[in-house]
Amino acid sequence: MLNLPAMKPLSQRTETFTDSVIRRMTRIANACGAINLSQGFPDFDPPESLTRRLAEIAPVGPHQYAITFGAQNFREALSDKQFHFSGLRYDPQKEIVITCGSTEAMMASMMSVCNPGDKVVLFSPFYENYSADTILCGATPVYVPLSPVDLSFDADVLESAMKQPGVKALVLCNPANPSGKVFTREELSVIASLAVKYDLYVITDEVYEHIIYAPHRHTYISTLPGMFERTIECSSLSKTYSITGWRLGYVLAAEPVMDRVKKVHDFLTVGAAAPLMEAAVTALRFDDSYYADLQAHYTHMKQLFTSGLRNLGLRFTEPQGAYFVLIDISEFGYDGDEQFCIDMAQKVGVAAVPGSSFFREPINHLVRLHFAKKDETLNDALNRLENLKKLKR
């Protein structure tokens, strides 16, 4: 594990946010022709049966609005898939809404449980949308650090955060972006028992649920005792089926809270894209072999990329799930990770995300790279990274 800086146990700040640093880095990568390992998305194709189905749909539709909560056949297929993987049966009529990516799912969920002045607990490091979503709701993030050594959390620190007056929810990204942490069943049980004790919601982001490296396994916190009613589970098809541009996400939740999520969703976006939902039913009906192949493919990409980084003598986090590594750039002598990322994109030809955008604490010696790319792209990137030494000051 990396020697991450020690962080203050709990802190709050007068909150503000910029545009997304991740998506800004994509624009910088495009502008200078760098290989984009910043914003996480694949450069390989989605499954062929899925794109074939999309082509079949083009001349016949649907091309008009689906009903606002998502097409019926899509919600039924999703209910079946979720039952298969978690054993929980969500009612397609009452407990599922299809959104424009998990980004909308998270925002709609947060808006449905938070009032201005409330608080939301986030683990740090965290995916930048969570703090922005919290602030857009008029709420304040309360940060709980993951240990710099092993990414564990201190249960007492978590409890002191969760019991603060005004806390309505905790956000759980599992597997976690950017750390690659996969929360164990024991850790999830601690979070769940505190959520029950203090009567809080857990809003999950589980978009990497099918990208896990053995021996780690994904546990849905919604399946733990007392958690079905208080978990607002957000996920998407983006990562699982390599279709980030289709913007198909969803929320799964018990009816009372889902009634509120549905209202927010209805006015935020009206609904997800009808022809894409129709095509994606095919993917939701894939059998187990698809998910086994996906895991094998990601395990291969992780192996290729991390062994290349190791050969370059770089120090980085080893992910348990998702597809990110945090690289330690201390040796390069930069004052800030943002300038490092700009120089790396322009002079080395590889784009990364400054680590500071994921941490509550003022850290600036980490950058995030992702490896959801073809072998040739990863090999090209690794070749280019040999020139990193030129950035040394």
Please give the angle made by the CA atoms of 193, 323 and 284, to the nearest 5 degrees. Answer: 75
> Which of 124, 134, 140, 177 touches ligand GLN by CB under 6 A?
177
* Comparison of 123 and 228: residue with beta carbon closer to ligand GLN: 123
* Comparison of 79 and 177: residue with beta carbon closer to ligand GLN: 177
> Which of 34, 37, 40, 133 touches ligand GLN by CB under 6 A?
40
* Comparison of 22 and 50: residue with beta carbon closer to ligand GLN: 22
For residue 39, state whether it binds ligand GLN (rule: CB under 6 A): yes
The residues in 110-169 that bind ligand GLN, with binding defined as CB under 6 A, are 127
* Comparison of 92 and 178: residue with beta carbon closer to ligand GLN: 178
- 316: which strand partners? 327
> Which of 8, 13, 23, 300 touches ligand GLN by CB under 6 A?
23
CB of 23 to ligand GLN, least distance (A): 5
Size of the site for ligand GLN (CB under 6 A): 7
What binding mask, one character per residue, do residues 77-106 give for ligand GLN by CB under 6 A, x or -?
--------------------------x---
Which tokens belong to 344? 């790396």
Length of the chain: 393
CB of 313 to ligand GLN, least distance (A): 25
Which is it for the CA torsion 202, 369, 185, 297, positive or negative?
Answer: positive
CB of 361 to ligand GLN, least distance (A): 19
Residues 6 or more apart whose Cβ sits within 8 Å of residue 6: 148
Please report where in the chains the tokens 């710099």 appear, as a residue.
148
Which tokens belong to 74? 């899509």
* Comparison of 40 and 355: residue with beta carbon closer to ligand GLN: 40
The answer to whether the CB of 169 falls within 8 A of the CB of 121 is yes
CB of 254 to ligand GLN, least distance (A): 26
CB of 353 to ligand GLN, least distance (A): 7
CB of 101 to ligand GLN, least distance (A): 7
* Start-to-end Cα distance in the chain: 25
Residue 255: left if φ>0, alpha if ψ -120 to 50, beta else—which one? alpha
Distances in Å between the alpha carbon of 154 and those of 100, 159, 220, 227, 320? 35, 9, 21, 21, 20
* β-strands 353-354, 366-370 pairing: antiparallel
Please give the angle made by the CA atoms of 37, 43 and 45, to the nearest 5 degrees. Answer: 160
* Comparison of 70 and 175: residue with beta carbon closer to ligand GLN: 175
Please report where in the chains the tokens 């330690």 appear, as a residue.
328
CB of 100 to ligand GLN, least distance (A): 11
* Comparison of 57 and 378: residue with beta carbon closer to ligand GLN: 378
* Comparison of 95 and 205: residue with beta carbon closer to ligand GLN: 205
CA distance 26 to 41: 11
Beta strands in the chain (DSSP E): 35-36, 96-100, 119-124, 140-145, 167-173, 201-205, 231-236, 248-252, 324-328, 350-351, 353-354, 366-370
> Which of 22, 114, 258, 369 touches ligand GLN by CB under 6 A?
22
What is the number of the residue whose Cβ is closest to ligand GLN?
40
* Comparison of 79 and 103: residue with beta carbon closer to ligand GLN: 103
Local structure of 196: helix, strand or coil: helix
* Comparison of 127 and 183: residue with beta carbon closer to ligand GLN: 127
Residues 6 or more apart whose Cβ sits within 8 Å of residue 393: 332, 333, 334
CB of 127 to ligand GLN, least distance (A): 6
* β-strands 119-124, 350-351 pairing: unpaired
CB of 126 to ligand GLN, least distance (A): 11
The residues in 241-280 that bind ligand GLN, with binding defined as CB under 6 A, are none
CB of 322 to ligand GLN, least distance (A): 9
Among the listed residues 92, 72, 71, 68, the one whose alpha carbon sits nearest the alpha carbon of residue 82: 92
Which tokens belong to 311? 């050969």
Residues that bind ligand GLN (CB under 6 A): 22-23, 39-40, 103, 127, 177
